[in-house]
Each structure stands twice: as C-alpha cells, then as structure tokens.
Amino acid sequence: MVEISGKEVIVARGVKKTYYDNGVPVEAVRGIDLTITTGEFTAIVGPSGSGKTTFLNCISGLDDVTEGKIWLGGKLLTCMSGRELSDFRRDRIGFIFQAYNLIPVLTIEENVEYVMLLQGVPARKRHRRVNAILEELGLGGYANRLPTQLSGGQRQRVAIARAIVSNPAIILADEPTANLDSQTGAELLDLMRNLNEKKGMTFVFSTHDAMIMQRARRLVVLKDGLVAGDEIRS
C-alpha cells in the first residue's frame, strides 16, 4: 500500500512498458519508481531510446503500462476506465508538445479555450480567462488570428496558454523547444519558469535540450529504461 499525500502529484511505482516490434519485445521502461511533488520544475532527461518520452506518455495516461502503478493527484491512473481517464486528463493535466498540436482552422482564442469548452465553462468566463492568459503571455491582440499567421515561438506560447488556462494540477511538456531557435526557446523556458515560481504550477519535461536542463530544479536521468540519476538543485 502506497500512501499518497496532498503534495504528491505524480507517484510511479514499478512502472514497466514493453512494446512489440514484429513480435519481438522491446522493454522501453524497465521498472521506474518516481515521485513528483507540487510545484516542481523537473526535467526527465536521457539519450534517445532511454525511455523518457515513453515514461512521460505512461504518467499522462496516453500509454498503458505493462506493469506497475501510477497515481496522479491521488488517483490511481491504472485502474481508471477509458472515459474516466479521458476526463481526468482533460481536467487535471496540461500538455505541451514540440509540434504545438494547434487546430489550424480555429482562431487562437478558440484553440486556447477548447479544453474549457469541453469542461462546460460558460462562454463569458472562457473569453475572460483566455484573454487574460494571452495578455500574460505576450499575445494580447492575437485572439482572432489563425495559427498559420503566427511564428513558431508565438504558436508555442499559444500551446502554453492552452495547457495552463484551466489551471491543471500538472503540465507535461515533451521536447517543447525542439522546433524553436535558441533565443525563442530560452524566452519560453523563462516564461514557464516564471509561471512555476509565481503560480506554483508543476512542470515535468521530457527533453535532451541543455537549456531545459540548466533551468530545471530537478534532473531525473533515465538510461535503458531505468532511473540512473536524480539530482535536486537549489
């Protein structure tokens, strides 16, 4: 029995994930124990094939685990039905992807408010919250534009706005700076670090970007699907 306190937003115990490639088993994650507490700014790092993206997909519920248990916000993820898991991700997790994953036919405001629309938040409240977050992220006046009318850095800001606008318990970011130049990536990382410091938002990154590693307060190093290092910084 694992005791979950109010400060622990992610608890993974004995997590394993095996894929099959033409019938051949591939052990991407081989038994990870990890706890993330509220307000962390953590980077999960490691070389290609270390299991970092697979593990991020497991703790988000995007991928089923082969063995082990995962708790998110005190809820046992691995015992949820498909609908329960979908609703939980919608309400408790914000996602930031390297490819932005914006809907091209929707305006910036419509992209950012999408999760709140699924949550049933009234239109006036959605509009107020979206415009406030766009102003905060330097996108005031962009609400009615389409994603194709924005630069890569601006689109990633929109993705960040979409991830945080509904105040999720945790934000998971998979290589969020991979498609950005170094200056734009640094600006966005400083922006996310500021959100972490001022609002206590919990960020977990999967990355091999040195800029994210430099800014992270905790580095979890994966190697061959296992935790090879765990460094907490001041």
Mean predicted confidence (pLDDT) in 159-178: 90
CATH code for the domain in which residue 145 is found:
3.40.50.300
Length of the chain: 234
The rounded radius of gyration (Å) of the Cα atoms in the chain is: 18
Least confident window among 2-6, 27-31, 38-42, 153-157: 2-6
Query: What pLDDT does 224 receive?
Result: 94
Q: Could you tell me if residue 210 is inside a domain?
A: yes
Q: Could you tell me if residue 56 is inside a domain?
A: yes
Q: Could you tell me if residue 16 is inside a domain?
A: no
- Give yes or no for residue 14 having a pLDDT over 90: yes
Q: Could you tell me if residue 168 is inside a domain?
A: yes
Q: Could you tell me if residue 6 is inside a domain?
A: no
The total domain count for the chain is: 1
Kind and range of the H or E run holding 186 = helix 182-199
- Give yes or no for residue 49 having a pLDDT over 60: yes
Question: Does the model's pTM come out above 0.75?
Answer: yes
Q: Could you tell me if residue 88 is inside a domain?
A: yes
- Give the C-alpha distances (Å, rounded to integers) separating 6 from 11, 37, 38, 48, 74: 12, 9, 8, 34, 7
CA distance 85 to 106: 26
> How many CB atoms lie under 10 A from the CB of residue 134?
21
Which token pair is 165? 């606008």
Q: Could you tell me if residue 225 is inside a domain?
A: yes
Q: Could you tell me if residue 33 is inside a domain?
A: no
What is the extent of the structural domain holding 139? 38-61+81-232
> How many CB atoms lie under 10 A from the CB of residue 31?
15
- Give yes or no for residue 98 having a pLDDT over 90: no
Task: Tell me which amino acid residue 210 is.
Answer: A
